[in-house]
Amino acid sequence: MILSSEDVKANLKDSKGWELENETWIKKQFVLPTFPKAIQFVNQMADLAESRQHHPHITIDHKQVTVKLSTLDEGGLTQKDFESAHAFDRTYKKF
């Protein structure tokens, strides 16, 4: 179920560093210490995404990893996006 704009705003308050983009995406940039660490981080996110069957858009630029989430089959943001965002944040803390 698509979240209301009020629900999106409330979820963003609990999501450190995640920003709303074009009303249908949330986005965050992660900076890792090295390129190999960035790749390891992406691989761990990929495993999480696959286990959840909720896949992000990921861009890798050297040590910077940009992640965007939206529930495309629903046409916007759902709770799945924010749950994945929190899981990715927990994964990032390991690095």
The whole-number average pLDDT for the span 34-58 is 97
pLDDT digits (tens, 9 = 90+) for 52-86: 999 999 999 999 999 999 999 999 999 999 999 99
Q: Is the pTM of this model over 0.85?
A: yes
The whole-number average pLDDT for the span 15-21 is 95
Tally the domains of the chain.
1
Domain hosting residue 25, numbered range: 5-93
The pLDDT of residue 36 is 98
The pLDDT of residue 42 is 98
The pLDDT of residue 20 is 97
Find the CATH number of the domain harbouring 34. Answer: 3.30.1360.20
- Tell me whether strands 19-21 and 57-61 are parallel, antiparallel or unpaired: unpaired
